[in-house]
Structures are given as structure tokens and as C-alpha cells.
Structure 1
Amino acid sequence: MVFKAAMNTKEQLLRYLKKEQGRFVSGEKVSSRLAISRSAIWKQISRLKEEGYDIESSPRRGYALRSIPDCLLAGEIREGLNTRLIGRGPIFHFQQTDNTNNQGKALAYEGAPEGALVIAEEQSQGRGRRGRTWFSPHSQGIYATVILRPLIPLSETPKLTLLAAVAATEALETQTGLPIRIKWPNDILANGRKLAGILTEIGTEMDAVDFAVIGMGLNVNVPQASFPSDLRYPATSILIETGRPFPRIRLLQSWLEALEKYYSLLLQGDFDNILSRWKFLTDIVGSRIAVEMPGRRYIGEVQDVDGNGVLILKESDGALQRIFSGDVTLLTV
């Protein structure tokens, strides 16, 4: 499969219409500026209308952009995005899909380049850790997956989840002003309630990392009453926490920018700074916790988090346990 990275004709046309700020521009002028035929312009205008852009067409005056849909479309994501890699390659947009990580893995196996982005307006089978469901209503959240191809040992891939969580936390704090924290290993909390989650999956080839897909589900404009009854207390959204709706595009851009920053640090061998930031945002070292795992429950005090994000837990008898995954509950006594 051939993956196109450069801005395509449709995106160039959209950017041109935006610059005109609602004024009509003639088909002849667009044709000359973009070096495409009048029939090609009409074809791309039709595609933009199908995506939800309100474009007024007049035989004598040309075309004018009237409104922009609240959709996470490629042209909207790239405009104002301050990255060099992530989001600069192909962007795959779905109105609905099973989940973006599944799509990302399929595209990665087909050769999608590093930095490619998968976006969905709705997921029918949104997933969290350990097969849990992520509630993914249409146009009310961000369901995104980034494809990366890091040249790191397989043993170091847990670092990707940590850096993605740090990136999400910093992006959300910057954009919303909310107090955001990380719950080990990959939940993002606002005022103690689950706002977002990170899911990293790895593709290997000959015991080496072929690709990683990092998915984020973020509850943006989900009203309290929309959550399923069993999720209404643990789950929250930016709308619930702030009392007002938020533009999804800028939230997504902010996460992609922070993700690229921390991914670059990882590749430069500077993971210590990422881990230090992660520890600060989790504030879990020294806490007494219970960890639920399949067939086992551990209780103890967190001694440290190692360079791969593994919890070092000290039980009451002094035994040290290395906890790679599990459900954590903070114990107050």
C-alpha cells in the first residue's frame, strides 16, 4: 500500500478557502492558484461538503466557506500543529470504527510510516487495559492512535506508555487548567476521576520491535447522564469538570505535540527526565496500595518505580514484588 504524507489537493483547497475568511473566490482563481482544473476543484468541493464543511457555491461568484464541522479531520489537525513527525504523515479518519488501535496495527503491518495518525469520531469496541470497554460516543471524545517505529529493545517498550501518559497529563493541564494526575500505569485522572486512558500495543518481528501503536481515549464533551450507569462515578469528562464544552482539535494537537517532545527525549537516551516527571505526576512512591492481579492480590508500600515503569512493592513481611500490571487501589490506613 502507498501512503501519502504530503498535503493533498483537498487540504490545499480548504486552506485557501479559510484564508479568504468567508469571501467568495472564483473557480478560475482557485484553479490558477492551485494549478488544478475546474472539474478537479468541483470534485474536491464535493468531498469537503461530504465531510461536513458548509461551502456555498455560486455559478458567478465561486465558492465561500461558511462553517467548519466539529470533526477531527486531517486538514483541521494539521493546521497549527507544531510537530515535525507525528501527524505530519498520513492521517486516517473514520466516522466509526471498532477501535483505533486495531486500525493502527493493521495499517502498521501494511507499512504505514512512523508518525501516522488514526482518528475516529466513534468507536464501537473501544478498549482499555485487560480487555475493558472504553465508552466512545460520537463526536464527544478523542479516540486516537499514533503509529511509531522506535529503535529500542523490546524490554524497553513499557517506557512508551509512561511517556504517553506524561504527554497527555501535561497537554490536558495546559489546555484545561484542571489538576491532572496519572494513576499507575496508564489512567489519566481529573480530581480523582478517570478522564483518559493510554493503551500501547507492540508489533514484533524476529524478537525486535517492528512498531508500536499508542492509543488514547479522552472524554471531552460527554455529559454525566450519557455515561453507562456502571461508569458514572469513576468516569468523568472535561465538560463535567469545567462546566463547559471544549474544542477537541486543540486538545488533540496539544497531546501530539507533547508526545513528540517526550518521544524525542526517549530516542535521545534521556528517559530519566521523563521518569522523574512521571513519578511526580503519579505521586505513588511511598504510598500504601493494594494491587489486584489475576489470581493474586498484593498489599504493601511502593518503594520505587523502575526505568521500565515496574512498581517495586514491599509487603508487610519485607518481601519485594515487581508489579508489571494490575489494578491499583490507594489505601488510606
Structure 2
Amino acid sequence: MQSTKEQVLAYLLHHAGTFVTGQALADQLNLSRESIWKAIQALRQAGFQIQGQAAKGYCYQGTAQLAAPVIEHACRQFKGAITVLTTTPSTQDEAKNYLSRHTLTMPRVWLAEEQTAGYGRRGRTFYSPAQRGLYFSLACRLPQPLLHPGLLTTGIAEAVWTVLQQFYPQAALSLKWVNDVYCNGKKAVGILTETMMDLETQTAQTVVIGCGMNLTGDAFPADLTTKAGALGPGEKVDRNQLAAALLDAIIQRVGDYQTGAFLPAYRQYSLVLGKEVELRGHHETITGAAVAIDEHGALVVATPTGPRTVVSGEVVKVNVHSNK
């Protein structure tokens, strides 16, 4: 059951951009005017910007904080549980800890204002300061057991890239195989896709998709300034709207990734195709020219001993001066 504050916020969100009188709120929600006034004050204290004008009423104008009700209201495709945390070691761990204790009956997402131990591929630290990024992990079921991991990871990366292009149209965004988004040649977004094994069926059908984004780059530690980038230094983007758009795009891609329809766009904006690369796999390092991304999302590298098709690994070096 929603609290009075939640009911008032939900109504104002539904009428965002327009004024609603206190009496109209009271009538619609079957509450007293005093309850409405107290709820408005509580929402303001919680960081919601609500303008009030005599005779006109109240108008919701946004919030700088991540807020589950605001994200939920903005979502069109994502229908699941949303948890917003002030701080956590890692949203990815939050998701995996939940899955270790519960059966996933609907998509769930954990977002955090700050991560104290955020991590990406190979357990590397992902710097996650408060108010300067967007950090979340989405747990959901795949429509059927995972057959082509490369399609899922490249598909999610392209879906994220597409949303970011809409919110940051002036940014020079590219995709580094397999699922990093770069801005002006520096890593701005890291995506970590981890599958969970179903013990009964022995299939990978639950996936946890972690996403860390640097929205502003004014607080990078000295050791990150040469390689970490930000999507929009100086730009102010509504993080709740961005989160909702990303959740919608990712959940839709989870449902259709097997078609591979996104691959032409992924290839077009690839940072590595046509470049000399060094790729680190599980047991070896491969050096050569990245010549193709195949129909399963794998990277084809031309090496001195012949072409190699790499399903998983990490491009650790890219010669940006080689021709594409």
C-alpha cells in the first residue's frame, strides 16, 4: 500500500509540467488538505522539486536524485521491481546476492548513487562517485537458454549506445568490442553481462547486466584521467529519464538479441574494426587486424598464422592510427 507521500508524488508525476491544486489532490486521493501539504513538504525535503503557486497549486519539476517512482513512471517497456540505493559496494553483487536467495519472477534492477567497490571485467575496479554517474544492475530471464553469448553482449552494448546517442547527440560515441562504450577515444561506459546457471535445467537463462557510466568527468583520480572519459562534461541530463530509457532498451534487446538485427549498426560504430589490435583471451594473447564481427558477435582477427575467430576476450590495445 502506498504512503500518502507516494500517492501524491505519483499523481504529480502523472501530471508533470502542469499545476494541480491542493484541493484537487485531496479530492482525487481522498485525503485531507493538511495531509497533502505535509506530503508536499516531505517530498521537497527528500529532494523533489515541486513548485507551488497561490491559486494554481503544485507542479512537479524534477529531482537531481535517482528515484524509483520517477524511473518507473518513465519506463515504457521495463515492467519490474526498481530499487534505488544511496550507496552500496556493488549493484552487481546486490543482484547476485538476491538471486542466490530468491527465484526471479520478474525483472529487477538495482541502482546506486554511489558504489564503493564497483567492478567490471576481470574484477577491475570501476570508479563510481556519487552524483557523477549512473550505476545499475538488471537481473532478468532470457526468453530461452543462452546459445550465442556474443550476440547478447554486443546487442546490449548497441542498445545502450543508441540510447546514449539520443541523450548526448553531440558526443562522439563508439563501441569497443565486446561491450564498452567510448567517448572521444576514452572509456565512458562499462557493461558487464554475467549469466547465472539454473541448477535444475543446467542452462544459462538468467542474466545480470551491470552498467557503469561516467556522466561527468570532473572528479577522476589522476591515474584514470588518461583512459577514462565522460559522456557529457558540463551537460546536465535527467538521470531518471536516462535510466528509464536504458532499461526499456535493454529489456527489449534481451527479448530480440538472437535476431542479430543490430549488428550492422554495431559494426558501423565499432572502434576496433580495421585496426591493429591486441586481444587478451583466457589463456593467450592474440595480435592482428580486426577484420570482421561475425553473425554471432564474435571478433575475427587476421593474424600472421591465419584468421582467428574470438568469441570472448578483451581488446587491450587498439592502434587508432591504422586505417579502418
Segments of structure 2 that go 5 or more residues without pairing to the other structure are none
Query: Higher strand proportion, which one?
Result: 2
Aligned equivalents of 1:234, 1:214: Cα separation in 2: 23
Residue 155 of structure 1, CA deviation: 3.5
Residue 288 of structure 1, CA deviation: 2.4
The aligned residue for residue 80 of structure 2 is 89
Residue 194 of structure 2, aligned match among 201, 207, 220: 201
Where 2:306 maps in the other structure, the secondary structure is coil
The change in CA–CA distance for 1:189 and 1:52 in structure 2 (over 3 A counts) is same
Where 2:74 maps in the other structure, the secondary structure is coil
The change in CA–CA distance for 1:45 and 1:148 in structure 2 (over 3 A counts) is same
Where 2:147 maps in the other structure, the secondary structure is helix
8 Å CA contact retained: 1:96, 1:121? yes
The aligned residue for residue 328 of structure 1 is 316
The aligned residue for residue 137 of structure 1 is 129
The aligned residue for residue 213 of structure 2 is 218
Where 1:284 maps in the other structure, the secondary structure is coil
Aligned equivalents of 1:188, 1:93: Cα separation in 2: 24
Query: Within 5 A, what are the aligned runs for 1:26-65?
Result: 26=22, 29-35=24-30, 48-49=43-44, 51-53=46-48, 64=58
The change in CA–CA distance for 1:38 and 1:149 in structure 2 (over 3 A counts) is farther
Residue 131 of structure 1, CA deviation: 0.7
Aligned equivalents of 1:283, 1:55: Cα separation in 2: 43
Segments of structure 1 that go 5 or more residues without pairing to the other structure are none
Q: Say which is worse superposed, 14-23 or 101-110, in terms of deviation.
A: 14-23
Where 1:121 maps in the other structure, the secondary structure is strand
Q: Which residue identity is paired with 1:236?
A: G
Where 1:75 maps in the other structure, the secondary structure is helix
Aligned equivalents of 2:249, 2:290: Cα separation in 1: 28
Aligned equivalents of 2:3, 2:138: Cα separation in 1: 20
8 Å CA contact retained: 1:147, 1:213? yes
Is structure 2 residue 119 aligned with structure 1 residue 124? no
TM-score after normalising by structure 1: 0.80
The number of aligned residues is: 316
Residue 94 of structure 2, aligned match among 100, 103, 121: 103
Aligned equivalents of 2:29, 2:104: Cα separation in 1: 28
Is structure 2 residue 147 aligned with structure 1 residue 152? no
- How big is each residue's C-alpha offset from its partner over 1:203-241, in whole Å with a ceiling of 9 and x where there is no partner? 111321241111111111331xx101111111111333x
Aligned equivalents of 2:302, 2:275: Cα separation in 1: 11
Identity among equivalent pairs (%): 27
8 Å CA contact retained: 1:10, 1:48? yes
Where 1:122 maps in the other structure, the secondary structure is strand
The aligned residue for residue 270 of structure 1 is 259
The aligned residue for residue 79 of structure 1 is 73
Residue 257 of structure 1, CA deviation: 3.0
Aligned equivalents of 1:315, 1:195: Cα separation in 2: 29
8 Å CA contact retained: 1:220, 1:248? no
Is structure 2 residue 14 aligned with structure 1 residue 14? no
8 Å CA contact retained: 2:50, 2:62? no
8 Å CA contact retained: 2:297, 2:311? no
CA RMSD of aligned residues (A): 3.3
